[in-house]
Amino acid sequence: MTSVHDTVALLGRTPAALDALLRDLPEMWTAGNEGAGTWSAFDVVGHLIHGERTDWIPRARMILESGDSRPFESFDRSGHETEISGRSLHQLLDLFAAARSKSLEALRALNIQPADLERRGRHPALGAVTLSQLLATWAAHDLTHLHQISRVMAHQYRGAVGPWSAYLGVMHCSGHSEL
Amino acid sequence: MTSVHDTVALLGRTPAALDALLRDLPEMWTAGNEGAGTWSAFDVVGHLIHGERTDWIPRARMILESGDSRPFESFDRSGHETEISGRSLHQLLDLFAAARSKSLEALRALNIQPADLERRGRHPALGAVTLSQLLATWAAHDLTHLHQISRVMAHQYRGAVGPWSAYLGVMHCSGHSEL
């Protein structure tokens, strides 16, 4: 069992960490991806915004209100396309910070008690999940995308590092099917 | 060929990004590692400080002053042990920011010209390398350790996410032998 306090501590820091890393960084780093059909750091921030709007708090509410009587809405992995359309990275970073802040306020308002953490929901593909698992996944999802962003950015220097590539684990990471 | 401007832009942001992510985060996240003999986020910050002191700028100077006439000093992968001994994460984050700032000042003072980027040094294990490759590796090394930190932190929630683990690439990353 993880603590909601630990989860919230991480969730609250991710927007500032991404802001410090990405804002005003040359586009070579932020717009570069790993090839056709893959995401740039910019795309990932759009995906994180989309998750705030449609995934985490809506699913937590559903568990608390309806339990596992019906499955969650499927998460739309191309939902970020609407978020990023016509926007700059500055705007996305601001929107992510605002959306995350709003989500954490909503989480506080849910006033989750220890006994609630074992309440169950139903994931459309994974089946039975608990509120505790949902909240832990919210934090781990930030980390999987920080892991992805660091890999996608490193990819831009894959050739430039020459023989040092052998010592840089990130250059040998295939992404492990991040979904 | 990468641009020194792009490299410096990234190098200048890493301390603030790690600070925003890690400062005052519960120790569960920052002190947890992946098992015996592996590094926590705290250890990684110590390693980054050690690199600023002994690796990047000293090697760049050596290329400019001595070329490939003698190999670089080997980098001590346990050198972080001295850096972290008796220190708090707050102190390490401050030391990393100060050391990086000092390194970037030293880099500016080297006044590297485009033609210098192809100058060669000799790595004790990898053989011939260029100044351009060294500088690109400095930035990629930040990214490989950001990749590592996000993985090590996610490891702390490996069990907690339950079936969602299948969707979280970071949970399936073995580290690709980061050296």
Top residue of A1, A4, A21 to mutate, by most chain B CBs within 10 Å, is A21
Q: What band does A73 get if pLDDT is binned at 50, 70 and 90?
A: confident
Residues of chain A found within 8 Å of residue B139, distances taken between Cβ atoms: 157
Mean pLDDT, to the nearest integer, of A5-18?
Answer: 98
- B130, A166: Cβ pair inside 8 Å? no
Residues of chain A found within 8 Å of residue B166, distances taken between Cβ atoms: 126, 179
- B21, A13: Cβ pair inside 8 Å? yes
pLDDT of residue B179: 44
Mean pLDDT, to the nearest integer, of A61-76?
Answer: 92
Instruction: State the helix-helix crossing angle for A41-54 and A4-22, rounded to 10 degrees.
Output: 150
Q: Is residue A1 over pLDDT 70?
A: no
Q: Is residue B124 over pLDDT 80?
A: yes
CA torsion angle for A53, A173, A24, A16 (degrees, to 10)?
50
Q: What band does B118 get if pLDDT is binned at 50, 70 and 90?
A: very high
- A176, B161: Cβ pair inside 8 Å? no
- A25, B9: Cβ pair inside 8 Å? yes
pLDDT in tens, A34-61: 999 999 999 999 999 999 999 999 999 9
* A160 vs A29: CA distance, rounded Å: 13
Q: Is residue B8 over pLDDT 90?
A: yes
pLDDT in tens, B31-59: 999 999 999 999 999 999 999 999 999 99
pLDDT in tens, B58-102: 999 999 999 999 999 888 878 889 889 999 999 999 999 999 999
Q: What band does A177 get if pLDDT is binned at 50, 70 and 90?
A: low
Of A9, A129, A171, the CB nearest to B25: A9
Q: What band does A176 get if pLDDT is binned at 50, 70 and 90?
A: low
Sign of CA dihedral B65, B108, A170, B147: positive
Q: What band does A74 get if pLDDT is binned at 50, 70 and 90?
A: confident
Are the C-beta atoms of residues B46 and B81 closer than 8 Å to each other?
yes
Q: What band does B13 get if pLDDT is binned at 50, 70 and 90?
A: very high
Q: Give the HSE-up count for residue A171: Cα atoms under 13 Å, Cβ half-sphere.
A: 21
